[in-house]
Amino acid sequence: MSDLPHQSRKVIMDCDIGWMNDDCTATMFALLSPDLDLLGITPVMGNFDLDHEVACALRLLELLGRTEVPVCAGFDRPLIHERSSYADQVWGKWGTLQPVESIPPGLPTLQRDPRHAVDFIIECVQKYPNEVTILATGPLTNVAVAIRKYPQLVEQVGEIIIMGGNIPGLPRGHGNITPMAEFNIWVDPEAARIVLRSGAPITLLPLNVCRLTHFDRAYFDRLASAESKHPEVARLFRDYLLIHFENPEVDRKNARLFYGLYDHCVVGCAINPDLYTVTEMHVDVNIVQGAFYGATHGYQRGTYSSGAYQFPLDDGCRPIKVAHEMDFEGLVDIYLRALTE
Ligand code: BDR
Ligand code: CA
């Protein structure tokens, strides 16, 4: 055994956090894991309107007694994608500019940090070159603008681990917000394209792998019986999850039979990348408005036998790591350990 002190991995949680949604409980996972040092939370609109998300992040920090962690708000709307009647019908309240009236445990008194998410991300990367990992579990607007504002970020960031997209050629590769697209990428396809083409070291966790986390009642019972370090937050989390098991109407409305630990996959990957089977692929995003808007496609470059040509011809799309299989039990173990030990 080494006598060296335990080195925690420095991370920023860039997320569309709500109250006890998967971003929220994934952020809790990052806050409680001894393997991670959470430098800050940078909310971006997505599942919810930005001000609601900021309030949820601040309240979570208050309940966990982690008020030293800064919350730096990012963008309240995508770069180009305008809210439409379709967006109004689907899961997600991005860009609705609603006043924050309440959240279940009450509004926070803690204030947000005045820095914009983009400036906070850049500052952290400059302060700790090659050490900062961005955990991106919402639309990629903040990350894309950080790259545009400070292009050196792509060489100086440790890694960007992203929950987003769907790879149709691999198992479980259909979309979830449209038949072709995944929610995080569809909300801001142009931002996603900037990030995926940036050349930064990226690990992408698409729906193909996240769909392996749809858990059943047995897992819920395991979680509910775990002794938490923060019983009040654990109780809120359990009450929220219980709805998904005890109220079939809610499940049907959300088109989910089981609740999935989608955004937790990103936190788990930062703690133990060996939980995932990863392949190098070129992944790009369709930014033409219409049925395929926000669809991702991933491929491995082929070479003609002559060696003269590659398909597709160079078009700016760079290889990234794509996770496509995972050890779900392993993720559950580290999650429960973070909550209880
Ligand atoms: C993603 O969309 C969000 O609603 C979830 O939090 C997750 O990040 C899944 O498509
Ligand atoms: Ca999310």
Peptide bond into 168 cis (omega under 30): no
Share of the chain above pLDDT 70, in %: 91
The pLDDT, as a whole number, for residue 258 is 54
Which residue's CA is the nearest one to ligand 1's atom 10? Answer: 183
305 confidence band (pLDDT: 50, 70, 90): low
Top-ranked range on mean pLDDT: pick from 89-103, 178-192, 229-243, 326-340? 178-192
The pLDDT, as a whole number, for residue 177 is 93
For residue 310, the CA-to-ligand 1 centroid distance in Å is: 34
Query: What number does the ligand 1 atom closest to the CA of 15 have?
Result: 8
- Determine whether the shortest distance from the Cβ of 23 to ligand 1 is under 6 A: yes
The three-class DSSP label of residue 260 is strand
Sheet holding 36-41, edge to edge: 36-41, 9-14, 132-136, 159-163, 202-205, 319-326, 276-285, 296-299
Please state which of the ranges 53-57, 76-80, 141-145, 315-319 shows the lowest mean pLDDT.
315-319
The Cα–Cα gap between 108 and 60 comes to 9
The Cα–Cα gap between 39 and 92 comes to 26
Spatial contact of 195 and 310, defined as CB atoms under 8 Å apart: no
Q: Does pLDDT of 87 surpass 50?
A: yes
- 221: annotated active-site residue: no
What domains appear along the chain, each with residue ranges and CATH number? Answer: 9-340 (3.90.245.10)
Q: How far is CA 73 from the centre of its chain?
A: 16
Q: How far is CA 209 from the centre of its chain?
A: 13
Question: 232 or 155: whose pLDDT is higher?
Answer: 155
Rg (C-alpha) for the chain, rounded Å, is: 19
Q: Does pLDDT of 26 surpass 60?
A: yes
The Cα–Cα gap between 33 and 43 comes to 20
Q: Is the dihedral of CA 251, 185, 79, 154 positive or negative?
A: positive
Q: Does pLDDT of 90 surpass 90?
A: no
Spatial contact of 271 and 37, defined as CB atoms under 8 Å apart: no
40-70 confidence digits (pLDDT tens): 999 999 999 999 999 999 999 999 999 999 9
**Which of 16, 49, 76, 188 is the catalytic position?**
16
Neighbour tally for 258: CB within 10 Å? 15
94 confidence band (pLDDT: 50, 70, 90): confident
Burial of 161 by CB count in 10 Å (0-12 exposed, 13-18 middle, 19+ buried)? Answer: buried
**Single pTM value for the model:** 0.94
Query: What number does the ligand 1 atom closest to the CA of 91 have?
Result: 4
The pLDDT, as a whole number, for residue 249 is 61
Position of tokens 């309107």? 49
Question: What DSSP designation does 223 have?
Answer: H
The pLDDT, as a whole number, for residue 314 is 56
The pLDDT, as a whole number, for residue 250 is 57
For residue 139, the CA-to-ligand 1 centroid distance in Å is: 9
For residue 201, the CA-to-ligand 1 centroid distance in Å is: 22
The pLDDT, as a whole number, for residue 311 is 59
